[in-house]
Structure 1
């Protein structure tokens, strides 16, 4: 069973947000310091997230980017499934045409998750940017209900 990344409490199927926090911890971000629901762990996590916020580029260089060290290749994988309702509505859209907003939202969420995980991987090896970022989508099941997104790039140190 999944656990809240802030407090470690088990997450039920319906509880929690997309960032793997329980309802209490996801709401704790809204409370001021000193409030009983405010968590110092949440504050520490928010500070860490701010440090992880690396630069991501799809190119190897940029005019204002001074790479001082190439560290290593980093990757992040995000496997996600469409639930039965998304599959059903996507199938209808496939027949009648048009855009499936449920599928688009799932793809967008998975991309954001994979890029965050890529930044986290880069941060853990001492990088402050990732260049040459590439996103690849792989269908894991014949029905198209499971898709994996792989994000990869080169973790680098840049002069700020």
Structure 2
């Protein structure tokens, strides 16, 4: 599956738009990560535990978006975007979405 943040795929012709592909995951912080993050908050610097959690969440959202596009019969997803939303305290959704297309 080709993924693109642009509205085209270089050297390919889009012959059909098959729909919106989407994938999301909702993740919560955990107590262990919060303790380490609290210490790092005191001294400053990157909070690796949260960086890793966000990276894993993005990858899961991309995976689910790709599976959704495959169900639609797409060859590529263009205009790929990400968004986040807080669901409740300490819990966030990561959503990946784009336009599923067929290529010539």
TM-score of the two chains, using structure 1 as the length reference: 0.61
* Residue 85 of structure 2 is aligned to residue 148 of structure 1: no
For residues 103-143 of structure 1, give each alpha carbon's deviation from its aligned partner in whole angstroms, at most 9, with x where no partner exists.
1111111111100100000000110110001001112223x
For residue 62 of structure 1, report the CA deviation from its aligned partner.
3.5
Q: Distance in 2 between matches of 1:94 and 1:137?
A: 22
For residues 28-55 of structure 1, give each alpha carbon's deviation from its aligned partner in whole angstroms, at most 9, with x where no partner exists.
xxxxxxxxxxxxxxxxxxxxxxxxxx11
Q: Distance in 1 between matches of 2:96 and 2:79?
A: 10
The gaps in structure 1 that reach 5 residues or longer are 1-53
Q: Distance in 2 between matches of 1:148 and 1:132?
A: 20
For residue 77 of structure 1, report the CA deviation from its aligned partner.
1.3
For residues 64-107 of structure 1, give each alpha carbon's deviation from its aligned partner in whole angstroms, at most 9, with x where no partner exists.
13111111112111101111111222222223210111111111
> Which runs of structure 1 show a deviation greater than 4 angstroms over 4 or more consecutive aligned residues?
none
Structure (1/2) with the larger strand percentage: 2
Task: Name the structure 1 match of 2:51.
Answer: 104
Task: Name the structure 1 match of 2:64.
Answer: 117
Q: Which of structures 1 and 2 has the bigger CA Rg?
A: 1
Task: Name the structure 2 match of 1:7.
Answer: none
Task: Name the structure 2 match of 1:130.
Answer: 77
Task: Name the structure 2 match of 1:16.
Answer: none
The gaps in structure 2 that reach 5 residues or longer are none
Q: Distance in 1 between matches of 2:9 and 2:76?
A: 12
Q: Distance in 2 between matches of 1:66 and 1:124?
A: 21
RCO higher in structure (CA 8 A, sep ≥6): 2
Task: Name the structure 2 match of 1:84.
Answer: 31
